[in-house]
Structure 1
């Protein structure tokens, strides 16, 4: 697959889940196109479409390490995102990065991802958690922030406060995940 073919696939029309799966299969053979795909995520965020972000999320589910060569570009791009249709899949990618780093302790992530990059993920996740988003980005942000609190000691108390403050007005999905996160924080003594 070439960059031009990728562009055509993403921007010709709205693509289905089956088409995403085919595209991801092709992209798995072309790891250098992952960065190009992320650039399309930033482009489509301004246009209000989400084919690239959906594809990016599904590619990262299979080949998260494809993100590492352009991790700095990825984390710098988080603050640019405005469309919830793009933020949702990218928030999921942030959660996967945090799981790889903190939960799985994947050596390549531990070696490659910097504290500065983790801080950019943390900032974006707090913005998504306290912003006017629907449930999915908030849920992914909660998980990411829970993990990030193991490196940045001020995060767990701040996360707890945000969750407690917003719990009464949250949707049932928000309340469910907030309760689970608050229970985990309580077990840590936060």
Structure 2
């Protein structure tokens, strides 16, 4: 698959789950197309398409390591996203990345991702958590912030405060994740 073929596939109408899986299966062996795929996400944010972000999310579930050479572009682009259909999968990729960095402690991620990049992810996750966004993005942001608090000591108290103020207003999924996160924070002494 070429960059142009990827562009055509991503911009030829809404993709079915089957087509997403087919594209991901092809992209698993083509790490050089990760950056063009990321560029498609930022371009599609200005349209009503979200194919690229869905493909990216599914690719990152299989090959998160492909994100590392492009993490600067990824972290810089997050704050500019406006489409809820794109924010959700990108928030999920943030969660996957923070779990790999903090929970799994993958050396490649810890050596490659800078504090400045982590701070950018942290800022956008707080924006997603407190902004008017759908619950999935909020839940993924919440988890990312929990992990980021392992490095930035002011995050956990702030996250706790936000969750205590918002947990009762959310959906069942938001309430569940808030309670779980608050319980995890309590175990850490917050």
Q: CA deviation at 1:48?
A: 2.1
> CA–CA distance in 2 between the matches of 1:108 and 1:91?
21
User: What is the aligned partner in structure 2 of residue 129 from structure 1?
Assistant: 129
What residue is the counterpart of 1:152 in the other structure?
A: 152
Corresponding residue of 1:65: 65
1:10-159 map, 5 Å: 10-159=10-159
Which structure 1 segments of 5+ residues have no match?
Answer: none
CA RMSD of aligned residues (A): 0.6
Q: Alpha-carbon deviations, 1:154-189, whole Å to 9, x = none? A: 000000000011112111111110000000000100
TM-score, reference length from structure 1: 0.99
Paired residues in the alignment total 190
Distance 2:26 2:7 in 1: 13
Q: Does 1:3 align with 2:23?
A: no
TM-score (norm 2): 0.99
Q: Determine the C-alpha separation between the residues in 2 that align with 1:60 and 1:172.
A: 27
* Aligned positions of 1:158-177 closer than 5 A: 158-177=158-177
CA distance in 2, matches of 1:168, 1:103: 28
Aligned partners of 2:88, 2:104: CA distance in 1, in Å? 23
5+ residue gaps, structure 2, are: none
CA distance in 2, matches of 1:25, 1:171: 34
